[in-house]
Structure 1
Amino acid sequence: MASLILAGDSIYLLVYMRQSYQTSMQEVFGVTFTQLGVMNSMYGLLAITAYFAGGWLSDRIATRTLLVFSLFATGLGGYYMATIPSYPMLLALHAFWGVSTILTFWSALIKSARLWGSAGDQGKTFGILDAGRGLVGAIMFTAGAWVFSRYVFVADGLIAVIMLYASASIVAGCFVWAFIPEDSAHGSLRGGKREAVPAGQLRLVVRLPAVWLQAFIILLAYWLYLGSFEFATFAEKVFGQDKLFGATLSAYREWLRPLSAITAGILADRIRPTRAVMICFVAAAVGYAVLAAVPGDVALLWMLWIQVATVAMAVFALRGIYFALMEESRVPLLVTGTAVGLVSTIGFTADVFAYPMIGWLLDTFGAKTGYTYYFSLLSCAATVGFVLTLLLAGYNHRGSLSPLATSEASQDQRAPD
């Protein structure tokens, strides 16, 4: 699990740099907020096309092979980014990352984590995974902020941070190669041998209402998570703080992730994942509503810290447990990779629309009004997420299981610790 944790966060440091260094990237690369949004949207478009194919791939190729390739490819892309390429090449780089961090990585990571835990502790399993990823992220964001502060010129500091994040991905690839067994992701791990995935079973997964409900729950939860990337820029543009304050706020946000994820995982195992997810949606709705209403007064910075903590803990808790919904809904282990691919294809489409949306709002209405509109939308999204999770809880309670899930229930097998 330690290797999965290290890999699971290191690979995304470069892709989501804008959460801490948005204004610095704008200055160094010479792009607008909208263009930054388009860069991430390009990543999202390629990622969306890769999620489902990646699920299919993870049911057929060993985890170590997929993860190592992804980590090394992403890190090498980071070294290229440090040369400060042109905007068209940045678009191409983000498209490349859409493949290297999703097609060969994401479903393999989630499948490995699900197999690592037992049926009764899926909440804790995914909580541990995301808590660990959060700890790695917090350490790396803190290290990045420290490295950035050592340089007088913004460009030099940003390049140093890019090199740090790229190297982290390469190092994670080395750890995965050294510590994850070669056959740990083959098929369903029945007796250590890879099993073929019958086409009829795939059709049953597509027809499961629970899978589609989970997809839209994750879509809304992930959009809330992406919204939290804006806290640094919000502090700089609305509260008039400097870039170092923004980077520090992002590091503070990341340090809340481990505790939030593991607490949510334990809670989910005790009261069921759907109930824990509903609590998180309520907290996020309230937190974003307050951020939408708060004026950009320096005297109210204390409120900013509190609401950042409220929203961050809610969205990190959601990320820590929303894949645990699969076990509650009895999605079969045999097709976990494919199910994750289908859910992720829909669930992570926020990567496509969220960044252009906030970029357009900021360029069109300015920071204060733009963020008021955006955070209000996110509060509404959290409310819709609560309703969908309530529907999923009702569906699960009625025991609407697929024949495939029922047949697997009596022979649930997991990877050894």
Structure 2
Amino acid sequence: MNREFVKKWGTLLLLAAGAGIIFQLPYIRETFYPQIQKAMNLTNSQMGLLSSGYATMATLSYFIGGAVADKFSARKLLTFSFIATGALGLWFSTFPSFTTARIIFVLMGISSIITYWSACIKATRMLGTEDEQGRLFGWQEGLRGIMNALLVFGMTAAYAHISKTAGEVAGASAAIKVCAIVVIIIGVLNFIFIEDTEKNEEGESVIELTKGLFKALTIPRVWLLVGIIFAAYSVYGLIGYVNTYAVTYYGLSETMGSTLGGIRYLLQGVGGIVGGFLADRYHSRIKVIVGGCVLLMISFGLYIVLPVQAGLVGAVIGNFFFGLVFIYAVRSQYFAVHQDAGIPVEMSGRVSGIASALGYTPDLFMYTLVGSWMDQYGAAGFKMTWGYAVAAAGVCIVLSLVLSRVIRSKAGAAENGAA
């Protein structure tokens, strides 16, 4: 085992751990939704507003982060991101007022995005050759899931232990504190192990960077990438409500619901790694996205037709596991597909920033919308949510096929020009 191999995969492991764990706090609802809702006495709509506040700031931050990733060294800024996000998590663990909680989530929209996300995408691309892109992003998604699973199991254990003696509110607070402390530790590890690089003092000016962002926006393939991420990310976000659905309507315990959150991340490991290897084997990230979305349409369609009966909780959980494998296979490839689309590595930071900023905009409205459906319509509101997911998966399929056709046309034109 040579030194370069250890450095390459060690760097990927740290990037994967950071990419998953830093987002546990702003997306804490995916694992501890009922507990936080009870602790803060919030409606589903208010829970959605917390996510929307984070997303609003994150949208701007993705744009800024994309430009920063193409210009600056990230080591010290990465360290700041983790430590600041962890500190905000410790503040949220006190369960302050709803207004204060919204401020915390807005601040996490800055600390978890500007200095991390686009730099992570670019760093992953640069770890390997063109033929390794699917595998690298698949392993990143997979390792990210495994690290997340370990963290969520630790958080769930803390919740279960503290809840027995001090109550559910104290248990939920302890779980969030565990997460926040781990985030801070990851920040320290980044400072120690990530190699620093010199700032590109003679690089592009702010004006040139801005022009570069607008130039990227004129590329049709970038807009197709945005649409693919928008649709696939919608499906990814909505699948997080399944464990809440099972707790509310199928009799699953809250502790078991949180445990499902940990199992979810183990399946992220399976889906991400399998998706990456399939993409490289068939030399197409797009085929993995299309195939995964077809199966996701079937999975969410089953929730719509499945009766709301406690005896069917096993079917709900089994379908949840089925869907998770495929959503993570899809998610592992929607940034790797940049390679298929012919996006140059030197533009990777700004394109991933644009694709993230616009592709993740479902966060701005989706959780508030479906939260209002759940408050107003109960179980029927959840079924409306599953219908939304089916439609989003269908849109992702269509856009992926369009991108594939554009890529083939571009390749054909290049061959004719060479001839």
Pairwise mapping of residues 198-277 of structure 1 onto structure 2 (< 5 A)?
A: 202-271=213-282, 272-277=284-289
Pairwise mapping of residues 71-220 of structure 1 onto structure 2 (< 5 A)?
A: 71-150=82-161, 151-152=163-164, 153-183=167-197, 195-196=203-204, 202-220=213-231
Q: Return the match for 1:32 from 40, 43, 46.
A: 43
Cross-structure match for 2:5: none
CA contact (8 A) 1:19 1:231 kept: no
Deviation at residue 205 of structure 1 after TM alignment: 2.1
Q: Deviations over 1:231-273 (max 9, x none)?
A: 2210111112221121122222221010110110011112200
In the alignment, structure 1 residue 305 sits paired with structure 2 residue 317: yes
CA distance in structure 1 between the aligned counterparts of 2:413 and 2:170, rounded to whole angstroms: 56
Q: Return the match for 1:287 from 292, 299, 307.
A: 299
Cross-structure match for 2:369: 357
Question: What SS does structure 2 have at the residue aligned with 1:323?
Answer: coil
Unaligned regions of 5+ residues in structure 1, if any? 188-192, 404-417
Cross-structure match for 1:50: 61
Deviation at residue 66 of structure 1 after TM alignment: 2.3
**Identity across aligned pairs (percent)?**
27
Aligned positions, number: 396
CA distance in structure 2 between the aligned counterparts of 1:158 and 1:310, rounded to whole angstroms: 28
Deviation at residue 203 of structure 1 after TM alignment: 4.5
Flag the 1:202–1:236 CA change in 2: closer, same or farther, 3 A.
closer
CA contact (8 A) 2:251 2:313 kept: no
Cross-structure match for 1:412: none
Flag the 1:239–1:57 CA change in 2: closer, same or farther, 3 A.
same
Cross-structure match for 1:413: none
CA distance in structure 1 between the aligned counterparts of 2:107 and 2:132, rounded to whole angstroms: 35
Q: What is the identity, as a one-letter code, of the residue corresponding to 1:395? A: V
Q: What is the identity, as a one-letter code, of the residue corresponding to 2:311? A: A
RMSD: 1.9
Q: Which moved more, 1:244-253 or 1:329-338?
A: 244-253
CA distance in structure 1 between the aligned counterparts of 2:117 and 2:232, rounded to whole angstroms: 17
Q: What is the identity, as a one-letter code, of the residue corresponding to 1:335? A: M
Unaligned regions of 5+ residues in structure 2, if any? 1-11, 415-419
Q: What is the identity, as a one-letter code, of the residue corresponding to 2:103? A: A
Flag the 1:376–1:252 CA change in 2: closer, same or farther, 3 A.
same
Q: What is the identity, as a one-letter code, of the residue corresponding to 1:39? A: L
Give the TM-score normalised by structure 2: 0.91
Give the TM-score normalised by structure 1: 0.91
Pairwise mapping of residues 63-78 of structure 1 onto structure 2 (< 5 A)?
A: 63-78=74-89
Question: What SS does structure 1 have at the residue aligned with 2:410?
Answer: coil
Q: What is the identity, as a one-letter code, of the residue corresponding to 1:261? A: G
